[in-house]
Each structure stands twice: as structure tokens, then as C-alpha cells.
Amino acid sequence: MSEREDESRRASVALRAATTGADVAAASFRTDLEVERKDAKTDVVTQVDRNAQTRVIEVINEAYPSEPIVGEEADALKRVPETGSAWIVDPIDGTNNYVNGSRAFGTAVAAVYDGEPVAAATVCPALGDTYRVGPDGAFRNDEPLSVSDCSDSEAATVCPTFWWDFDHREEYAAATRAIVERFGDMRRFGCAQLELAMVAAGALEGTMTNLRTNPWDTVAGVQLVREAGGTVTDLEGNPWRHDSTGLIASNGAVHDDLSAATREIDRPT
């Protein structure tokens, strides 16, 4: 099997697994859910998250039974292997939205090799959107994705992503201030994979955080942005990896301004 054929097969499995997990989530959306809390008051989990992850893993294991799986919930690894093939799963990204009845959530699955993504899918069932990326490019509902061509930061829309807990609220405030002082407008959706997909689709010019993110929240979306023509770096301007500190994803044209805004978060006032 050629490298392209292998990546194409992995892209197909990622899509099938993400669709299966999204179907589990959709079946219980806007029903009476029993909600548990993790570390923070807004960091919630449900049995549906666990059920969705179980089904996603089952689909992956059917095709690749010996490959490690990294996932958000308890029955998966938490670190991406540095070598070889692996899978990264978020059964419901945006669980807080999910339990509150907001449509901004999705199931994300990425295939990686030596820590770098080679294929991925993010399925947002309540929005009716399926994002996928593989050797043939990046797509939403089978339409090719392309980042925005906006190069004027004052006309651009940017989203602060990930989550600043209450002991880091000064950083949250700094992030929003840095955005509104440079860019035309700001959004926040509470679902990092969807926010990255929106950058890839041209609905946002960029998204950013100064924090180290979880791979299940980001890897699939990062690959979408890159394949759609965008730029994704860490705080130092290096190509982003799953273990990077900071994530700056943009259409490329406003990346310098977005990087400057992100670096301001940690700057003493």
C-alpha cells in the first residue's frame, strides 16, 4: 500500500469513527442528561461522552486493532506517542455547550504519524456540518475548504479559544483586550475544534490562545486549517505541534497581528 493509499484509508476510518461518535451524541442531545463536573465548574462530562468515545474506539480498533488511541475520557491514553501511528479522539468537544443545548459541539478524530496529523474528521451533528481532511484536501460537507482572504486586521474576526480558569482570568481579559484593540470583531464558541474548522472554512480569520492545549481539542482542527491554506504556530512562531505552548491559527494574512496579540497575554502591565 502506498503512503497516499494508507492516508486515504486512515481518512476514511477517521470520518467513519467521528460520524459514529457524533450519532451517539446527537441521539441524546437536548434530553435530560446527568452531568458530572471534573476540575472546574464549567468542565463537565456526561455518560454520553463516555459512550461516544467507546463507539469511536470500536470503529478505529476494527481497522487498526494494535494502534494506540489518545482520548479525553478515562479509557484512553493522554499523551501522543512520539513515534509511529496513533489516533486522537474527542468524543464530544464542547460538552458544556452540549449539556446546555447549544449546537456548537462535535466529535473529532485524527490520525497521526510520529506525532503529526495525516488525516482527521470533525462531525458537528446539530449544525449539519462534517469537516474532513486527508490526502485529497480539506472539505466541509464535500465542498473544498479555503481560509479567508481578508488581509485587513481591522476587518477581521478573531476568536479566543480554549479555557482560562478562574485563577487565570487576567489572561482571559488580556486576550480579549488584545483582540478588540487590533481586530474588527471577536467571537467565542466554546468548542475549539469547531473554531479551528471555522478558520479553515473562512468564517473566522483566526483563533488563538497562550495556553498549552489538549491534543484531542486541537489536532484535527489544526490539520484542517493547514490544508485549507492557513497558518498555525506556537507562541514563538514555530510550526505548532500537539505539545506546543500556545496556539495561533489564522488565514495567514493576519497572522503577524494575531501573534502579537497572543504574546500580549503574558506581558506585564
The whole-number pLDDT of residue 268 equals 52
Fold of 3-144: Fructose-1,6-Bisphosphatase; Chain A, domain 1 (3.30.540)
Cβ atoms < 10 Å from Cβ of 236: 10
Radius of gyration of the chain (CA): 17
The whole-number pLDDT of residue 167 equals 85
Q: Which residues contact 110 (CB under 8 A, 6 or more apart)?
A: 14, 87, 88, 117, 119, 120, 215, 219, 220, 223
The whole-number pLDDT of residue 72 equals 75
Q: What are phi and psi of 102, to 5 degrees?
A: -80, 145
Q: Which residues contact 31 (CB under 8 A, 6 or more apart)?
A: none
Are 90 and 193 in contact, with CB atoms under 8 Å apart?
A: yes
Annotated binding site: which residue ranges?
A: 72, 90, 92-93, 217
Residue 73 in grid coordinates: 475520557
Q: Where are the domains of the chain?
A: 3-144, 153-263
Beta bridge partners, 123, equal 107, 130
Report strand pairing: 85-93 vs 116-124: unpaired
Q: What are phi and psi of 75, to 5 degrees?
A: -90, 35
Ordered per-residue pLDDT tens for the chain, 269 residues: 788 899 999 999 999 999 999 999 999 999 998 888 766 666 678 899 999 999 999 999 999 999 999 987 666 678 999 999 999 999 999 999 999 999 999 999 999 999 999 999 999 999 999 999 999 999 999 999 999 999 999 999 999 999 888 888 999 999 999 999 999 999 999 999 999 999 999 999 999 999 999 999 999 999 999 999 999 999 999 999 999 999 999 999 999 999 999 999 986 55
Phi/psi class of residue 101: alpha, beta or left (left: φ > 0; alpha: ψ in -120 to 50)? left
Residue 267 in grid coordinates: 506581558
- Sign of the Cα torsion 167, 100, 195, 138 reads positive
Annotated binding site for Mg(2+): which residue ranges?
A: 72, 90, 92-93, 217
Fold of 153-263: D-Maltodextrin-Binding Protein; domain 2 (3.40.190)
Rounded CA separation 172/163 (Å): 8
Model pTM score: 0.95
